[in-house]
Amino acid sequence: MTNVNDNLFAQQFRSNQSTVLNGIKKLCKVSTLKNKFPVLNWLPKYQASFLLCDAIAGFTVGLTTIPQAIAYGVVAGLQPQYGLYAAFMGCFTYIIFGTCKDVTIATTAIMALMVHDYAIITPDFAVFISFIAGCVILLLGLLNLGVLVRFISIPVITGFTMAAAFTIGSAQVNNLFGMKSPSNQFLPSSWQHFFTHVTSIRLNDSLLGVCSLIFLLVMKKTKNIHYGNRTIWKYISLSRNSMVVIFGTLLAYLLSRDGSEPFRITGNITAGLPFFRPPPFRTHIDEEEVYFTDMIQTIGSSLASIPLVSILEIVAIAKTFSKGKVVNASQEMIALGMCNIMGSFVSSMPVTGSFTRTAINNASGVKTPLGGIVTGTMVLLALAFLTQTFYYIPKATLASVIIAAMISLVELDKIADVWKSKRIDLLPFMVTLLTCLFWSLEYGILCGVLINISFVLYRVARPQIYLDTIKICGYDICFVDVKQRLDFASAEYLKEKILKFMNENRHDISLIIVKGVEINSIDYTVAVNLLSLKEDLEVLSCDLICWNWNDSATNVICGLNSELRYMFKKEQSIEDVVNDYYLSLEKRNECSRPATLADIS
């Protein structure tokens, strides 16, 4: 007996060993490595002619990335350098793992807003969230769960994006006019603070902020100028953020040389490159040590919402700029997860894809992801040599940059399109928008998704079923046309609808035909309900025929009662089905009729 057990154990061990070895061999295949490290696909094919295009695109994106990274660091309630740390690590990491040449990874306004409530407690929370969110996103990507983003519809995404744009823009209105921004950055609090502190508006900041905002909005349109060299106009338009920041910084520096402070300025930014160190798994709040589990509890639902929003942004952006290629959503999630994990080791806040910078990258003619090296290098140089210059950036100028970017996120044309196409889809849009504005971004997108799921469940539970009385070959029959598949959720609905119809027309109809062309399959619950329906119809002196059902659905019912196979008619016209039924009915009636004197004679 011992020898038998030893042999079984040895066989099991060899089987497990073989499975492990096969898994390792599969992981070490060149195709697998190329799938997980897309840089191995495009780098060997890199052409020298691509270098200039990538350099120009990377430089152009860098001119936008630096001021926006500083601005979004401020939006998050952090020192500006945290936004720069996020930008340079995101650029370098995505080159290795990303699949779309146009996508640029950095912090965004939405990420900054979502992390704000935790970052103002201590910056360690922002770095910790970056690490945890990265681990969640990476795990989802490795499990090939990119399909989950399909459950979030465009109206929900549009409502969320617009709510974030309104919230972020409203929070910057105070800075635009030289006022201190409230700690609570949600829309009602921002406007309440603005109107209750309107007397503290600073004239210099207001003039600079409003003029900068107008300049940005006007310069955005210069790309559409057809006079002269259109390429020059395009690059002038793309560099508008840098032009505004440079002008505002130079003006603030010149006017403050005599010791005055004409504008509220950004202030000190930590110079030099960040230290490479593990993310903080414990921190201090008011001199009290907070451990890992306490940090997790503090973050709460954001552990799900921040990764979800990050995934939504990068997948949506990658699909927009994929240019006919199939987007590997799971690989994009792996890339985003690695960007956040690596960023957490250099004190980065959470990052995701940036639509604005990706659009600039695409418009600049980028050829490969290598353009990200130029952008990342520019951010590193800015951290190393330009931090003293950043000291003089007026907050009103940064506010104008953020508000101008938020205005572009308000896509009123999409709302008009939804109104024209299917107005019911405005419901998840409005629920998402209002919940995000007046409750929180996390619960807003959750409510929108729940509304979408309820739509799907309603359609599943109440499929399109059309019943009508039609005359075929001189007989009145009830014709049932099912336009969707049937499953357990809709089984009772089909039965109820047919019985209700029959109770209203019970004296006129003796045959019901259920068309099954669009019924691909049924389950046990549907089969039981159809058998129950047949019994109920027999009480009403009515028969049931299933016309043109496929074999899969037929076999489910016949598996319960093989004698009912006669109910299913296939490869016959409906006229032949009706004629055959009434002929057989007449024969049955004749056989069951008592013999009369005429029959005997």
- Average pLDDT value over all residues in the chain: 81
**Amino acid at position 448, single letter:** G
Answer yes or no: do 358 and 486 share one domain: no
Integer angstrom CA distances of residue 170 from 174, 183, 240, 401, 441: 8, 13, 22, 13, 15
Separation CA 220–CA 404 (nearest Å):
9
C-alpha 28 chain-centroid distance: 32
Residue 456 lies in a domain: no
| CA gap 232, 569 in Å, rounded | 71
Residue 600 — pLDDT band, cuts 50, 70, 90? Answer: very low
Tell me the average pLDDT across 114-118.
88
Amino acid at 591: C
Q: What is the pLDDT of residue 344?
A: 93
DSSP three-state, residue 479: strand
pLDDT digits (tens, 9 = 90+) for 215-260: 888 888 776 666 766 677 777 777 787 788 888 888 988 888 777 7
Closest CA to 71 of 314, 280, 204, 269: 269
Walk across the sheet containing 568-569 and list its strands: 465-472, 475-482, 511-515, 543-547, 568-569
Task: Provide the terminal-to-terminal Cα distance of the chain, rounded to the nearest Å.
Answer: 86
> If you average pLDDT over each of 134-138, 163-167, 201-205, which comes out highest?
134-138
Q: What is the pLDDT of residue 419?
A: 87
Q: Are residues 360 and 493 in the same domain?
A: no
Instruction: Tell how many helices (H) and how many strands (E) occur in the chain.
Output: 27, 9
> What value does the mean pLDDT take over residues 494-502?
85
DSSP state at residue 323:
T
Q: Is the pLDDT of residue 8 over 80?
A: no
Residue 130: pLDDT band (50, 70, 90) is: very high
Query: What is the C-alpha R_g of the chain?
Result: 33
- 221 & 137 share domain: yes
Three-class DSSP labels, 541-562: CCEEEEECCCHHHHHHHHHHCH
Domain boundary among 410, 441, 476: 410
Same domain? 400 vs 476? no
226-240, 261-275, 371-385, range with the lowest pLDDT: 226-240
Let me know if residue 167 belongs to a domain.
Answer: yes
8-state DSSP, 440: -
Same domain, 252 and 161: yes
Q: At CA 178, angle to CA 256 and CA 164, rounded to 5?
A: 130
- The whole-number pLDDT of residue 481 equals 86
Instruction: Tell me, yes or no, whether 280 and 132 share the same domain.
Output: yes
pLDDT of residue 597: 32
- So what's the pLDDT on residue 527? 86
Domain boundary among 389, 410, 431: 410
State residue 372 phi and psi, 5-degree precision.
-65, -25
pLDDT of the residue at 599: 41
Any domain includes 430: no
CA 67 to chain centre: 26
Return the minimum-mean-pLDDT range out of 28-37, 47-56, 352-361.
28-37
Predicted confidence (pLDDT) at residue 146 exceeds the cutoff of 60: yes
pLDDT band at 270 (very low <50, low <70, confident <90, very high): confident
Question: Which residues pair with residue 543 across a beta bridge?
Answer: 511
Whether 62 and 159 share a structural domain: yes
Q: How confident is the model at residue 26 (pLDDT cuts 50, 70, 90)?
A: low
Contacts of 190 (CB under 8 A, 6+ apart): 167, 170, 171, 173, 174, 181, 182, 184
* pLDDT value of position 126: 92
CA 559 to chain centre: 43
Is there a single domain that holds both residue 81 and residue 173? yes
Residue 323, class by beta-carbon neighbours within 10 Å (0-12 exposed, 13-18 middle, 19+ buried)? Answer: exposed
Displacement of CA 293 from its chain's centroid (Å): 29
3-state SS, residue 478: strand
pLDDT value, residue 559: 85
Coil, strand or helix at 469: strand
Residues 401 and 474 in one domain: no
Angle (CA) 14-15-21 rounded to 5° is 85
Continuous segment of H or E residues that includes residue 470: strand 465-472
Residue 129, domain member (yes or no): yes
At residue 230, the pLDDT reads 67
User: Which residues neighbour 425 within 8 Å (Cβ) at sequence distance 6 or greater?
Assistant: 153, 155, 418
Domain finish residue from 410, 425, 449: 410
Task: Tell me the range of 18-27, 38-47, 237-246 where mean pLDDT is highest.
Answer: 38-47
Query: Is 306 part of a structural domain of the chain?
Result: yes
- Residues 392 and 84: their CA atoms lie apart, in Å, by 17
Tally of domains in the chain: 2
| Share of residues in the chain with pLDDT > 90 (%) | 7
The three-class DSSP label of residue 501 is helix
The candidate with the shortest Cα–Cα distance to 57, out of 3, 95, 102, is 102
> Residue 149: pLDDT above 80?
no
State the pLDDT at residue 11. Answer: 58
Q: What 3 state SS string does 282-302 have?
A: CEEECCEEECHHHHHHHHCCH
Looking at residue 345, what is its pLDDT?
A: 93
Q: In whole angstroms, what is the distance from residue 269 CA to residue 390 CA?
A: 7
In Å, how far from its chain's centre is CA 63?
28
Q: What is the pLDDT of residue 558?
A: 86
**166 and 84 fall within a common domain:** yes
DSSP at 148:
G
Let me know if residue 4 belongs to a domain: no
In a domain, 446, yes or no: no
DSSP element (H, E) containing 567: none
> pLDDT tens for residues 458-467?
888 888 888 8
Q: pLDDT digit string (tens) for 307-364?
A: 988 888 887 777 767 766 777 888 888 999 999 999 999 999 999 988 778 877 877 7
Instruction: Kindly tell me the sign of the dihedral angle through the C-alpha atoms of 216, 218, 224, 226.
Output: negative
Of 161 and 204, the one with more pLDDT = 204
- Domain CATH for 482: 3.30.750.24
User: Between the CA of residue 472 and those of 271, 556, 563, 578, 579, what are the distances in Å?
Assistant: 87, 29, 27, 7, 9
Q: How far apart are CA 534 and CA 517, in angstroms?
A: 20
Residues 286 and 206 in one domain: yes
Domain that holds residue 498: 462-588
**398 and 531 co-located in one domain:** no
Helix (H) or strand (E) holding 464: none
Interval 459-490: pLDDT, tens: 888 888 888 888 888 888 888 888 877 777 88
Nearest-CA neighbor of 344 among 555, 570, 127? 127
Beta carbons of 540 and 504 less than 8 angstroms apart: no
Inside any domain, residue 19: no
Percent over 70 (pLDDT), the chain: 90
Cα separation, 32 vs 40, whole angstroms: 11
305 bridge partner residues:
none
CA angle 79, 82, 85 (to 5 degrees): 150
More confident of the two residues 132 and 584:
132
Cα–Cα distance measured from residue 225 to residue 202, given in angstroms and rounded to the nearest whole number: 35
